Amino acid sequence: MSWFEKIPTMDRQELRDFKKYVDISFKDFSRTYGDGIETFFDPLLYFLVWFEKLLINAPWPLIIFVIAIMAWVGSRSWLVVSGTVCSFIVIGYFGMWEDTMSTLAIISICTLLCISIGIPIGIFMSRSDRLQSMVNPVLDVMQTIPSFVYLIPVVMLLGIGKVPGLIAVFIYALPPIVRLTNLGIRLVDKEVLEASESFGASYSQKLFGVQIPLALPNIFAGVNQTIMMALAMVVIASMIGVKGLGVPVLRAVSNQYLALGMLNGLAIVALAIIFDRISQSFGKRMQKHLESSHGV
Amino acid sequence: MENGCRSIWKVPMVSETKVTIKNLYKIFGKDPAGMINHVQNGTTKQELLEKYGSVLALNDVNIDIPARGIQVIMGLSGSGKSTLIRHVNRLIEPTSGEIIVGGQNVLGMSKLELREFRRHTASMVFQRFALLPHHTIVENVSYGLTIQNVPKQEAAERSQQWIDKVGLAGYEKHYPNQLSGGMQQRVGLARALATDAEILLMDEAFSALDPLIRTDMQDVLLSLQEELHKTILFITHDLDEALRIGENIAILRDGLVVQKGTPQEIVLNPADKYVTDFIKDINRGRVVQVSSIMDSKKLKNGPEIESNMILEDALQIISNAELSEAIVTENGKNIGSVKLGRMISAIARPSEKTGQITNYR
């Protein structure tokens, strides 16, 4: 009855061999293909470096001005605009300007990547139940697996640097936009779609004329979530060599610098709130036609 | 008071058939094609559901829809009427059968041909309007034209005329949600008309509206029809509506056509108990025409009544004249007479099946 008291386990030797086997084959893989994969990501790296330099080297009033305009376009609210400008001035005043710009660069590029890859995936998912049932578990894994775990193979493949950091952030931030695009399109009123079909709309006319516009509020909620998730990953990304607000936080943690940690942490929070408000109110304004009920 | 809604009957009826629905079956469930044999061997809807878990939506439907007329399909919910109308533009694929529109088999069309057919030949009005909430009224009305890649400017101009016709001028820049139900359905109607399709498919188009607005919309439709002479397939569950606007009515029950005919035929000769129950409570005075109860006795004097006048209006004339008989005329010619008592008994709710139709086309 020993099997009843103790769960059957693999032989220790076998387990060790198994782990060794996996490690060695991955090492072989990364030795063979690592360089190739790195060159594949080179354009991304150049772009990231270029964009970061652009943000850091541009005169600070210009940056604040551009961000204020974005805030205005997104929210149409003076409160949000002035809050944004104040936050950035305070961030600069406390000497975190450069780190903030680095973070801004990686967040922007990651969000762009997620949008350009996540929305098409979401669209395909909404078209096929089969694909949905295949992609969903993958998204679950991406969201729940501890980031350190997938950092190991990424670092083994690409080493320490900006690109692995970006990939780590990307993996974590992609799921919401895929999910919400898929959901948004599936939630589009079947009758409206049928009406569009009854007038002889082609596939692309249905997709771009009806499904995506009506799914936009949900898609925007996805973009918003993606930005938030990306910001949440900044500290972890800094562990593998991504510059930005995460680096001082990491230093503060290991050296018990309370003020440094607080200041940089709050700067991340400020960025999060600004992006959240801007993207949310933009999403809300897009469904303005739904707000005004009849009887006017 | 002219018998307003009946006046379209005066348009000479052309018996050219526009849409032919032939032996149409639709079965939802696994292996629908295999189920057809069971149905043809007499398995009922109930049995099919219990034995095989398949739903028999349409059972050997045959309807000829005359060109430029209003064909009403009537039935309670679950009778398959909405399924039927979606077969005409193939929003639903049939299990077997034929649908021929203007000599062309809709079921044989390729994807592209079907798209063209939907763009130019048949347009549809939906029960819950199905407008595009993110487009303004003018954009909604011109939707069908936009799909056809008509230039924006031209589409807007062509749409404007329909917006005016359905009485929505001034609301062009509004969004659907800002309009009431009745107004939204006017948009739906204008959208369907704007493509100049000959066939108009109306799926319970007015059922979601409250009674007053519904009557209003029926008037809008009838007056537009007087001008446009579209071939209209109108689905409804409301018998009053069916009798009011239909020139021909087909009654559907459990996917089976139980009776086809003019409103008058259905009211005077209900085919079975189901139809009898249906027509029990309707106002017969508004449906039955003088011609069906007149006799050939020629009167010298008396008030004159047109033979295709409905009893309700004829009674008004005869009682105004304070007489008990009236002359029946057709195209100004004296063709017989009608008695007041006969008219009253024809209006009264029948205890059993009434027949006795004399002069009847």
The reported pLDDT for the residue numbered A145 is: 87
User: Considering only A2-16, A68-82, A281-295, which range has the smallest mean pLDDT?
Assistant: A281-295
Q: What span, in angstroms and rounded, lies between the C-alpha atoms of A179 and A125?
A: 9
Residues A259-278 as b/e (b if ≥16 CB within 10 A, e otherwise) read ebbebbbbbbebbbebbebb
Average pLDDT, stretch A139-158? 86
Q: Please give the average pLDDT of every successive group of 10 residues along chain B, which has 361 residues.
A: 43 71 91 86 86 89 92 90 93 93 91 94 94 93 94 92 93 92 94 94 93 92 93 93 92 92 88 86 84 83 85 87 85 86 81 45 35
* CB-CB under 8 Å, B143 with A196: yes
* CB-CB under 8 Å, A205 with B147: yes
Nearest to A199 among B114, B183, B195 (CB): B195
Cα B201 to chain center, whole Å? Answer: 9
* CB-CB under 8 Å, B91 with A197: yes
Res. A66: pLDDT tops 80: yes
The reported pLDDT for the residue numbered B91 is: 94
Helix and strand counts by DSSP (H, E) for chain A: 15, 0
Distances (CA, A) of A15 to A12, A21, A149, A153, B355: 5, 10, 19, 20, 92
Nearest Cα of chain B lies from the Cα of A184 at a distance, in angstroms, of 15
Q: What is the pLDDT of residues A250-269, one digit of tens each?
A: 999 999 999 999 999 999 99
Q: pLDDT band for A11, please (50, 70, 90 cuts).
A: confident
Structure tokens at B329: 């005329």
A217 to chain B: closest CA residue: B134
The reported pLDDT for the residue numbered B3 is: 43
Q: What span, in angstroms and rounded, lies between the C-alpha atoms of A184 and A123?
A: 9
Q: What span, in angstroms and rounded, lies between the C-alpha atoms of B233 and B226?
A: 15
Q: At what angle do helices A97-127 and A162-186 cross, to 10 degrees?
A: 40
**The CA-based dihedral angle spanning residues B299, B305, B308, B309, taken in that order and rounded to the nearest 10 degrees:** -140
Structure tokens at B183: 């107004």
Whether A5 contacts chain B with CB within 8 A: no
Distances (CA, A) of B170 to A57, A73, B160, B187: 53, 30, 10, 13
Distances (CA, A) of B251 to B38, B60, B93, B257: 24, 13, 22, 6
Mutate to test the interface with A, among B87, B143, B146, B204 (most CBs of A within 10 A): B143
Q: At what angle do helices A78-93 and A258-286 cross, to 10 degrees?
A: 160
The reported pLDDT for the residue numbered A293 is: 53
Structure tokens at B41: 């061997």
Q: What span, in angstroms and rounded, lies between the C-alpha atoms of B185 and A24?
A: 69
- Which residue type occupies A5? E
The reported pLDDT for the residue numbered B327 is: 87
Please indicate whether residue B81 or residue A235 has the higher confidence score (pLDDT): B81
Q: What span, in angstroms and rounded, lies between the C-alpha atoms of B194 and B160?
A: 9
Site of tokens 């045959």 = B62
* CB-CB under 8 Å, B134 with A214: yes
Report the mean per-residue pLDDT for chain A.
Answer: 90
Q: What span, in angstroms and rounded, lies between the C-alpha atoms of A71 and A54?
A: 20
Give DSSP secondary structure letters for A63-106.
Answer: HHHHHHHHHHHHH--HHHHHHHHHHHHHHHHTT-HHHHHHHHHH
User: Considering only A8-22, A94-108, A188-202, B316-330, which range has the smallest mean pLDDT?
Assistant: B316-330
B121 to chain A: closest CA residue: A199
Distances (CA, A) of B5 to B9, B93, B210, B221, B236: 9, 35, 20, 11, 18
Question: Above pLDDT 90, what percent of chain A?
Answer: 63
* CB-CB under 8 Å, A199 with B143: yes
Nearest Cα of chain B lies from the Cα of A295 at a distance, in angstroms, of 7
Which residues on chain A are in Cβ contact (under 8 Å) with B90?
none
Nearest Cα of chain B lies from the Cα of A19 at a distance, in angstroms, of 48
The reported pLDDT for the residue numbered B350 is: 63
- The reply to whether ipTM tops 0.95 is no
Contact indicator for A117, A174 with CB cutoff of 8 Å: yes
Nearest to A195 among B130, B148, B177 (CB): B130
Which residues on chain A are in Cβ contact (under 8 Å) with B191?
199
